[in-house]
């Protein structure tokens, strides 16, 4: 049976620009730090997977005169960021991307297993899903945060999800938005659809089987950027997912 596996940040919703970045800046201000991550700077920092890892990288590479990264400070900032992220989410500042709710609902009603594979913290992931879907029951497995030691672009989290679901890689289709995510999925032997955003549009997605603007809606067609199969489709549905798996 076909299985759909979704990344979260940037794939289900524009969480990076409107959620995590805003929350990081609120956490910095609360801690009395004069750090500010602009949209352009945050785009550079997104090359690093994981929030704690991102703070550590910023301190090491952008603040040469700062104190050496202390794990306690990093953990405290990250915890505050997560708290502010959920605040931003509650304020309605992080909508789902086009087609996401429709596709997940269609899969659930058809008995198609869905799963989550994300470096985002579990509590943030659950908050996003419950806010927009009302429940996490749409997903047979939710792999998030530090559930594996090595984060994307390492394939570990996808191996973990496949094991949890007892699914073969050939029967699963992944939805990602970034090159690190695509690399993680393809190294796990998974076929991957990429829905780009402003932060990732410049990245190399040559290994994706389909690169589109978003999942689209019947009255809101997606834009196709790269299509290995010359598909005649204007929005993503279960039939398209099945055809993509059969083509490869």
- For residue 9, indicate whether it is catalytic: yes
Question: Which one of the listed residues 7, 156, 177, 214 is annotated catalytic?
Answer: 7
- What is the strand order of the sheet 3-6 is part of? 141-143, 114-117, 3-6, 172-176, 191-195, 210-212, 224-227
Q: Is the pLDDT of residue 67 over 70?
A: no
CATH architecture of the domain with residue range 16-90: Orthogonal Bundle (1.10)
Domain assignments of the chain as residue spans, ordered by start: 3-14+96-247, 16-90
**Strand ranges, E, within 120-220:** 141-143, 172-176, 191-195, 210-212
- Of 34-48, 64-78, 184-198, 229-243, least confident by mean pLDDT is 64-78
Enumerate the β-bridge partners of residue 191.
173
Assessment of whether the complete model's pTM goes beyond 0.75: yes
- Under CATH, domain 3-14+96-247 is a member of which superfamily? HAD superfamily/HAD-like (3.40.50.1000)
- Looking up tokens 């990245």 gives 203
Answer yes or no: is pLDDT of 233 > 70: yes
- CB under 8 Å to 173, separation ≥6 — which residues? 2, 3, 4, 5, 190, 191, 192, 193, 241, 244, 245
Instruction: Identify whether 150 is a catalytic site residue.
Output: no
CA distances from 111 to 4, 106, 107, 140 (A): 11, 9, 6, 11
Q: What is the pLDDT of residues 164-186, one digit of tens each?
A: 999 999 999 999 999 999 999 99
């Amino acid at each position: 049976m076909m299985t759909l596996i979704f990344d979260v940040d940037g794939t289900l919703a524009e969480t990076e620009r409107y959620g995590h970045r805003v929350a990081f800046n609120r956490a910095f201000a609360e801690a009395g730090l004069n750090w500010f991550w602009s949209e352009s700077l945050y785009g550079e920092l997104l090359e690093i997977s994981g929030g704690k890892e991102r703070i550590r990288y910023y301190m090491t590479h952008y603040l040469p005169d700062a104190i050496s990264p202390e794990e306690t400070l990093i953990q405290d900032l990250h915890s505050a960021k997560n708290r502010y992220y959920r605040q931003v989410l509650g304020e309605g500042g992080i909508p789902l991307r086009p087609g996401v709710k429709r596709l997940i609902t269609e899969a659930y009603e058809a008995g198609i297993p869905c799963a989550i594979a994300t470096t985002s913290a579990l509590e943030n992931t659950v908050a996003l899903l419950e806010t927009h879907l009302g429940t996490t029951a749409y997903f047979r497995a939710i792999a998030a945060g530090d559930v594996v030691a090595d984060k994307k672009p390492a394939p570990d989290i996808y191996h973990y999800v496949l094991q949890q679901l007892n699914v073969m890689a050939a029967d699963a289709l992944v939805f990602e938005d970034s090159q690190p995510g695509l690399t993680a999925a393809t190294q796990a032997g998974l076929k991957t659809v990429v829905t780009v955003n402003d932060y990732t549009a410049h990245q190399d997605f040559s290994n994706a089987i389909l690169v589109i603007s978003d999942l689209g809606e019947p009255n809101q067609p997606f834009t196709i950027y790269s299509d290995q199969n010359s598909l005649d489709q204007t929005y993503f549905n279960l039939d398209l997912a099945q055809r993509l798996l059969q083509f490869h």
